[in-house]
Amino acid sequence: MWTCGLFVQVILWALVQGFQIPFAVRQTENNFTTLSLSSLSEEHYTVLEHPHFQSHSVRIRKAPSDFCDPSVVKYTGYIDTSAARHIFFYFFESRNAPESDDVILWTNGGPGCSSSMGLFMELGPCRIEDENGTKVNPYSWNENANIFFIDQPAGTGFSYAEYGESVTTTEEAAKDIAAFMAIFFETFSQFKGRPFHLSGESYAGRYLPVFGSAIYDQNTQLVAAGLEPINLKSVMIGNGWTDVYRMIPSFFDMVCTPASVEPFVDISTCVRMKTVMPRCVKWLSETCVDRLDAISCGAAFEFCSNEFMLPFLLSGTNPYDVSKPCSAEEYNSTLCYPQTRHIKDYLNLPSTRKELGVSPLLENTTFQSCNMDLNLAFALNLDMIRGHTPYYLENLLDRGVRVLIYVGDYDWIANWVGNERMVDSLEWHGAASFKKQELKDWTVALVEGKDSSPAGKVKSSGLLTFLTIHGAGHMAPYDKPVESLEMVNRWLKGDLF
């Protein structure tokens, strides 16, 4: 389970350091060491520390050359905190020009879901489609970018915590991500000043606005300390769960109107959903947005979930792609995608774990795509609702950070209707111009040398772009790899759609 829908699934279900380090790179206030990635070893971790981040360090090692994609150099490692949290990551150099291409960080959602799904199923340099291991993905987003995949927060995937430590809010998780990126850019000087982009899907609609804000605010401290700020250029959110207030009512549109496919819930149920919608919207607004009353907000969320989500669950439709059926058995075993089982089996192989440098502390722990205990902890803490995430996006836009909201138009759980309403509601200096834009076709040449074909709809003005990918579900890069890569390549170049 790797989607923002998992936050909701807690409600839905109710309804029906590792390695011994041989050496460390250490630095003092007056003598900080910088490194080249090429100097790293496959045999052991190098430890990166920085005096400005005394609560964080990074272990990093070169991964074997035949792992995933032999054509690029790659690395794995851990972000370690003094609070005994250890966050696992992969880093792949660009296939094009690693010495000059932009840097992207990708996170899956959950909360508590491993970004191995993004890596091995969607946009990574290799994919796992069956029991035969990895195959090179020609449509990987590292075609023109250096890219991180990160298992966060601690407790997700190959990340772990000791002594009962945990993270249960996005704001807490943001501190670790911001420190990690600063240490990375400061240590590997060849990346200093490179354009940096935060990307992800699903619950990343909550993560990334907060992570971006933490990185932006941290830059003030870096400059004050005489360090170079991180060049945060954009946030790219795919099928994001960003605005509860607008997403939950949009479930009605997806099942009772031809928003993406023909209506597939019975009329009497749709009439009830329409009838209770004003109550749901009012209750969520008053108790979750205008002020956070934990008890009342939780009750409002449960009520709205019951009214707007349960009818979908009973329909036998894939929640990540409304154009396809998915039985309860398929959903419970593979989330409607058999690849998830193959990925989990691959990451549970001792040989794979050795290649990746996974901590021996996890030797007797079975890899899980999602940590449901962590998911529940975030849900009980009302993380999705506190802090009203769209406000973070507004502030980033007002500070010159570009924002791309892209959505596969067959997704239900974080659908295009709710996301469009979210972007239209944002209050920032370019809002008036953005709201005047009409959705128009954007096109992609699916075969080189052939005429371009419509790939979806888009509207864009200034720093903000909203884009749909036609025929894609929740995992848009999986369903439409050519279109997704074209979208990212244009975005990185600053091209308008």
In a domain, 255, yes or no: no
d(CA 123, CA 201): 11
For residues 284-296, average pLDDT: 89
Q: Taking the alpha carbons of 297, 299, 304, 306 in that order, is the dihedral positive or negative?
A: positive
- Among 413, 404, 387, which Cα is nearest to 109's? 413
At residue 200, the 3 state secondary structure works out as strand
Selected catalytic residue, list 114, 202, 234, 305:
202
Q: Give the separation between CA 40 and CA 63, rounded to whole angstroms.
A: 10
50 is catalytic: no
Residue 29: left if φ>0, alpha if ψ -120 to 50, beta else—which one? alpha
Do the Cβ atoms of 4 and 202 come closer than 8 Å? Answer: yes
- Reported as a pLDDT band with limits 50, 70 and 90, residue 165 is confident
pLDDT digits (tens, 9 = 90+) for 375-407: 999 998 989 887 789 999 999 999 999 999 999
Structural domain tally of the chain?
Answer: 1
Long-range contacts of 391-395 (CB under 8 A, 24+ apart): 392/209, 392/210, 392/212, 392/213, 393/209, 393/235, 393/242, 393/426, 394/426, 394/427, 394/428, 395/213
**Largest Cα–Cα distance of the chain, in whole Å?**
72
pLDDT number for residue 291: 86
CATH number of the domain that residue 220 is part of: 3.40.50.1820
Burial class (CB in 10 A: 0-12, 13-18, 19+), 129: middle
Give the mean pLDDT of the chain. 90
Cα–Cα dist 252/270, whole Å: 7
Asked if pLDDT for residue 157 goes beyond 60, the answer is yes
pLDDT band at 98 (very low <50, low <70, confident <90, very high): very high
**pLDDT tens digits, one per residue of 109-141:** 999 999 999 999 999 999 999 999 999 999 999
Backbone phi, then psi, for 42, in 5-degree steps?
Answer: -85, -15
Residue 289 pLDDT level (bands cut at 50, 70, 90): confident
Pick the most confident of 189-193, 314-318, 336-340, 487-491. 487-491
Domain membership of residue 263 (yes or no) is no
Question: Pairing mode, if any, of strands 464-469 and 453-461?
Answer: antiparallel
pLDDT value for 166: 85
Backbone angles phi, psi at 201, to 5 degrees: -135, 160
Range of the domain at 437: 5-244+385-493
Could you tell me which of 420, 419, 456, 459 has the C-alpha nearest to residue 441?
Answer: 456
Residue 16 pLDDT greater than 80, yes or no: no
Active site residue 474: yes
User: Which amino acid would we find at residue 169?
Assistant: T
Closest C-alpha among 253, 246, 241 to residue 414: 241
Cα 472 to Cα 416: distance, rounded to the nearest angstrom: 11
196 in any annotated domain: yes
Average pLDDT over every residue of 226-245: 95
Q: How far is CA 340 from CA 90, 130, 186, in A?
A: 19, 10, 36
Within a domain: residue 15?
A: yes
d(CA 466, CA 434): 10
Query: What b/e readout covers 293-316, taking b as 16+ CB neighbours within 10 angstroms?
Result: eeeebbebbeebbbbbbebbbebe
DSSP H helices in 257-389: 267-284, 294-308, 310-313, 328-334, 339-347, 350-356, 372-380
Catalytic residue among 411, 470, 479, 484: 411
At 66 the pLDDT is 95
Residue 26 has pLDDT above 60, yes or no: no
Residue 112 backbone dihedrals phi, psi, to 5 degrees: 100, 15
Is 429 a residue of the active site? no
- Residue 50 confidence (pLDDT): 84
Tens-digit pLDDT profile for residues 443-468: 998 877 777 899 999 999 999 999 99
Report helix, strand or coil for 488.
helix
CB 12, CB 305: distance < 8 Å: yes
Relative to beta strand 46-49, strand 23-25 is parallel
Q: In angstroms, what CA-CA distances link 376 with 89, 206, 372?
A: 23, 16, 6
Residue 440, class by beta-carbon neighbours within 10 Å (0-12 exposed, 13-18 middle, 19+ buried)? exposed
Q: What pLDDT is recorded for position 391?
A: 95
What pLDDT band is residue 15 in, cutting at 50, 70 and 90? Answer: very low
Question: In the prediction, which pLDDT does 33 show?
Answer: 57
Q: How far is CA 86 from CA 158, 164, 232, 426, in A?
A: 9, 13, 24, 35
Percent of the chain predicted with pLDDT > 90: 74
Cis peptide before 153 (omega within 30 of 0): yes
Q: Residue 241 is which amino acid?
A: W
3-state secondary structure at position 91: strand
Whether pLDDT at 53 is above 50: yes
Q: Which residue has the higher pLDDT, 412 or 83?
A: 412
Residue 4 has pLDDT above 60, yes or no: no
pLDDT, residue 22, reads 30
What's the half-sphere exposure (Cβ side, CA atoms, 13 Å) at 125? 26
Quick check: is 161 in a domain?
Answer: yes
Task: For the chain, give the number of residues.
Answer: 497
